[in-house]
Chains A and B, each alone.
Chain A
Amino acid sequence: MLGQGFAVLLSHWRRHKLQFAMLVLGLALATALWSAVQAINGEARASYARAAAVVGQDRLEQLATPDGARLPQSTYIALRTAGWLVSPVLEGEKRFGGERLRILGVDPVTLPADAAQVNVGAADIGLQRFITPPGVFIMSRETAERLKGIDTPPIRISDALPPGTVLTDIGIAQQVLDAPGQLSRLLLAPKQPAEVRPLAQVAPGLVRRAPAVESDLSRLTDSFHLNLTAFGFLAFAVGLFIVHSAIGLAFEQRRPVIRTLRAVGMPLRALILLMIVELLVLSTVAGLIGVALGYGVASLLLPDVAASLRGLYGAEVPGTLSIRPSVWGLGLAIAVTGTLVSAAARLWRIASMPLLAPARPRAWSLASERALRLQAVGGFVLLVAAWLIAQFGAGLVAGFAALGAMLLGAALILPLALSLLLKLGERLSQGVIAQWFWADTRQQLPGLSLALMALLLALAANAGVGTMVQSFRLTFVGWLDQRLPSELYVTTRSNDESQKVHDWLASRSDAVLPIWNTEVRMFGQPVQVYGIADHATYRQHWPMLEAAPDAWDSIASGQGVLANEQLARRQKLTLGDMIPLDGGHSLPLVGIFSDYGNPKGQVIVGVGLLVKLYPDASRLRYAVRIAHDKAPKLAEDLRGTFGLPDENVVNQATIKAFSLKIFERTFAVTAALNVLTLGVAAIAIFASLLTLSGMRLSQLAPAWAMGLTLKRLAWLEILRSVALASFTMLAAVPVGLGLAWMLLAVINVEAFGWRLPMHVFPMDWLRLFLLAVASAILAALLPALWLARRAPADLVKVFANER
């Protein structure tokens, strides 16, 4: 009995192949975008985990200075002498050619077994070769590829290391990083001898740190991945509209069959069970296709994501994907769950349908306006909830909750808003065809509302994210002009060369401004400290958001500190707050400046104070002021005189172009996801129109019989789709602006620590409007063509059941 019942249910799909294709396509597309994002995030997180696991940081306790400053090698020797089983690590960054690498120096002899990811004693490396100059650089294959042609110590490959990280001997690292006798931290072996002198006696300046379960990188990039996940989820939700729509139609069309099956004795429970099995099979097949498609999308997007992560956070993510069971599992789970959720209401309706219920399919077209009103009330409640969360909530999750509530609320209100608009159109129209057009369009609303809601989400996301990105771009370009006023930026290769370059430039330029810096731990997080000279360049151009009246005088006299916006927001700093610097110094905050694109906190002090408090600060970079037309010649002379590589002497335009390139790549992924989401929404409309086209014939046939040609009716069908898409676009603009405001004022502040001014870009809306219209035309084209080519015999069937 069950087998026969199942065969009857499946026979529906044999007769409605297109509907079946749309269901599978919708679910596969929804799963694809979700899985693509998961695959990308999974790859990135695995890379962060590898980075965190390097030299056992995620498993071993460590000894370090409280503020994260380097410690002298003598402390290490004292601890070893006292019996402590510790192993030294030196970590720092170094640029090789155009590549900035994370250098990790370890002592292979004392390194605990838990921390030894790479066997340096292996035949192809050899302990002797590892520890004696020029040493060996161990790195991933991808990093080695990037270093081709660049002068480095001999390279060996290890897949255990994340991209961008180099493992080498501690002595070699001290040379490379120009940090003789310095260490970053000490790794503690898990088992220490019983009798050792207390740590407080041997190394009083050090503290024990627990293994780092989550890396700084992982924390920093969380918001980026949350953004991607949110987009993936949005795409999934848009895709689910297709699924909901296709399942809804299939269930409605099968009501007579279900009634018949029950009438001939099939128990209701068995029927429901068969339908669930059917859905499980369908969703599993579509889910598998979706995850496979997702890997395709992910592999296309990953290079841009990797570039974004490198540009924004300095995080290294490989450009190739690995197949992860978790992505397959999660993709299938969400496909199956999404399908069951989409079908739940329909299954419930079947379960509660009386045996003698009318067999005529009610279809969507008869859904009452009352249902639309109820739905709109729900939407309004969600909008209010979004406003309340945005006002009183805190944190990124609250931000996304507000965003989700706003989008869903707006989507739920859309059908009623469209219905009222179409009613108005009907009332205002004079001609009989126009009147019928509006009335008929309104009648189609319930059947198309899900697809239109999906379109609204996609358009609003496009308008909102577009506004955010464009606002960011506008602000960023202006900010770059302020931040990079100098004509040339020079990076020297050593402190010695730095002094010579400075002296050489001093007599040949208007000003040589040091950009010296170091990285410290402040407020428990890595913070960059920059020292700048007192010069009109800064006083006139620096992008201050808030400043005390005498801010620059305070900086010049070493009496004040500037902080970037992200640090100020993170630590809730206001002007006048004391900023703790090294050596027990604390200075008041005298200004807050914008610092877009920098994930880290940054403070600025006078260059004299920097040198005094941080004698080890890097003193390699300078900004050079000179007349624009003289800059190229000076750069050429500088390179010629000191043999500096091209990338060490760059002009303002090059840095700006580079920064903008990073910016564009950062948002390339967003743009791609935007287009894909819009594509899914267009398919949703297409799917709905296609499935409705069968039902449309009985509605259009009377108009045809009364004297409208099929060609004209087909044109009206396209016009109807365009009208609905246009009205949806009208609704999407305010929703998109709300979305942009939330992204700029809530999400960005929580995720990145900066708030951007909002600008509006009507030309972008026009472009989006044209895109929406094009999507609507494409979606309606095939059903309209089919209608135009219908034989009269098909239409007259509507009027008679017999020949």
Chain B
Amino acid sequence: MLLDLQDVSKSYPTGEGVLQVLRGVSLSLDAGESLALTGESGSGKSTLLHLAGGLDRPDSGAILFEGRDIAGLDDKELAAFRRVRVGLVFQQFNLIPSLDVAANLAFQARLGGRFDAAWMARLTARLGLERLLDRYPEQLSGGQQQRVAIGRALAGRPQLIFADEPTGNLDEATGDAVLELMMSLLPETGAALLMVTHSMRLASRLGRRLHLAAGKLG
């Protein structure tokens, strides 16, 4: 098993008290598998993805990646985990604005020491970004930015891709095209996918679906 969440809970302090976002969530994901996590706004989908991606820590429960609990890792170890093991795709794209497309694509792979020039060239071609390599994020359309974000996530051939509403900022046609592209690239890397979406239509294209409501899996 690649990822195994066991009884994970998470709360945040707010102005009106403590907000319980996740309440004892458990789920698992095998290598190469794709899983869609659906739910309404505020159901805790993004929080769950952030915890599984090593961006935040749970209040309780275990997050096992290849059998090792990442909830117990220190900042340095968590950073190393993110560099090497996972790829992240966000709704807002979150590219690095000071770097051009080529540097953005290679950033995480080079950071994790997993840069492969041949793979990068192939990936760039598959994503249709060859002519955009010297452009900066602000000079790209939303669809182009998201293709760069997907390329960045896949460049280091991570074991698991976390995608948080990857098409949320795109129109339907562009969103479909981008998802199609991502889904077609996954088998080439062997990565598993955990995608958060509230679109049942998109969720249906993944191997498995789970629904989150009020911090619990339904």
Q: Say yes or no: is A478 at the interface (Cβ < 8 Å to chain B).
A: no
A432 touches B111 (CB 8 A): yes
A-facing residues in B55-88 (Cβ within 8 Å): 55-57, 75-76, 79-84, 88
Please give me the residue from chain A that is nearest to B53 by CB atom.
A705
Q: Say yes or no: is A621 at the interface (Cβ < 8 Å to chain B).
A: no
B46 touches A802 (CB 8 A): yes
B110 touches A792 (CB 8 A): no
Q: Say yes or no: is A482 at the interface (Cβ < 8 Å to chain B).
A: no
A-facing residues in B20-56 (Cβ within 8 Å): 21, 41-44, 46-47, 50, 53, 55-56
Q: Say yes or no: is B159 at the interface (Cβ < 8 Å to chain A).
A: no
Q: Say yes or no: is A440 at the interface (Cβ < 8 Å to chain B).
A: yes
Q: Say yes or no: is B197 at the interface (Cβ < 8 Å to chain A).
A: no
B-facing residues in A692-710 (Cβ within 8 Å): 698-699, 701-710
Q: Say yes or no: is B170 at the interface (Cβ < 8 Å to chain A).
A: no
CB distance from A306 to the nearest CB of B (A): 53
B88 touches A709 (CB 8 A): no
Residues of A contacting B50 in the complex (Cβ-Cβ under 8 angstroms):
792, 796, 799-800
A800 touches B46 (CB 8 A): yes
- Whole-angstrom distance between the alpha carbons of A801 and B80 in the complex? 26
B92 touches A799 (CB 8 A): yes
**Interface hub of A698, A699, A705 (most chain B Cβ within 10 A):** A705
Main secondary structure of the interface of B (DSSP, over half): mixed
A436 touches B107 (CB 8 A): yes
Residues of A contacting B165 in the complex (Cβ-Cβ under 8 angstroms):
800
Q: Say yes or no: is A442 at the interface (Cβ < 8 Å to chain B).
A: yes
Please give me the residue from chain A that is nearest to B91 by CB atom.
A800
Q: Say yes or no: is A633 at the interface (Cβ < 8 Å to chain B).
A: no
Q: Which of A705, A708, A792, A803 contacts B88 (CB 8 A)?
A: A705
Q: How many residues of chain B have a CB within 8 Å of chain A?
A: 43
B79 touches A707 (CB 8 A): yes
Q: Say yes or no: is B143 at the interface (Cβ < 8 Å to chain A).
A: no
A710 touches B75 (CB 8 A): yes
- Whole-angstrom distance between the alpha carbons of A704 and B95 in the complex? 12
Residues of A contacting B106 in the complex (Cβ-Cβ under 8 angstroms):
432
CB distance from A122 to the nearest CB of B (A): 75
Please give me the residue from chain B that is nearest to A702 by CB atom.
B94
User: Beyond A699-B96, A701-B94, A803-B44, is A707–B55 a contact (Cβ under 8 Å)?
Assistant: no
User: Beyond A366-B138, A803-B12, A803-B19, is A798–B94 a contact (Cβ under 8 Å)?
Assistant: yes
A800 touches B98 (CB 8 A): no
CB distance from B103 to the nearest CB of A (A): 6
User: Beyond A432-B107, A796-B55, is A707–B90 a contact (Cβ under 8 Å)?
Assistant: no
| A/B pair count, beta carbons within 8 Å | 104
- Whole-angstrom distance between the alpha carbons of A436 and B152 in the complex? 15
Residues of A contacting B83 in the complex (Cβ-Cβ under 8 angstroms):
706-707
A792 touches B55 (CB 8 A): yes
CB distance from A415 to the nearest CB of B (A): 16
Q: Say yes or no: is A443 at the interface (Cβ < 8 Å to chain B).
A: yes
A435 touches B103 (CB 8 A): yes
B98 touches A795 (CB 8 A): no
Please give me the residue from chain A that is nearest to B152 by CB atom.
A706
Q: Say yes or no: is B112 at the interface (Cβ < 8 Å to chain A).
A: yes
Residues of B contacting A711 in the complex (Cβ-Cβ under 8 angstroms):
75
Residues of B contacting A801 in the complex (Cβ-Cβ under 8 angstroms):
91
Given A707-B79, A802-B41, A802-B42: 19 more A-B contacts, CB < 8 Å: A365-B97, A432-B107, A433-B111, A436-B96, A439-B98, A699-B97, A704-B79, A705-B82, A705-B94, A706-B88, A706-B111, A707-B83, A798-B94, A799-B50, A799-B164, A800-B165, A803-B12, A803-B42, A803-B47
Query: Interface residues, chain B, CB within 8 Å of chain A?
Result: 12, 19, 21, 41-44, 46-47, 50, 53, 55-57, 75-76, 79-84, 88, 90-92, 94-99, 103, 106-108, 110-112, 138, 152, 164-165
Query: Interface residues, chain A, CB within 8 Å of chain B?
Result: 365-366, 431-433, 435-436, 439-440, 442-443, 698-699, 701-712, 792-793, 795-796, 798-803
30 contacts between A and B (CB under 8 A): A431-B110, A432-B107, A436-B96, A436-B99, A439-B98, A439-B99, A439-B103, A440-B96, A698-B94, A699-B96, A703-B96, A705-B82, A706-B83, A707-B79, A707-B82, A707-B84, A709-B75, A710-B75, A712-B79, A792-B55, A793-B56, A796-B46, A799-B88, A799-B90, A799-B92, A799-B94, A799-B164, A800-B91, A802-B46, A803-B46
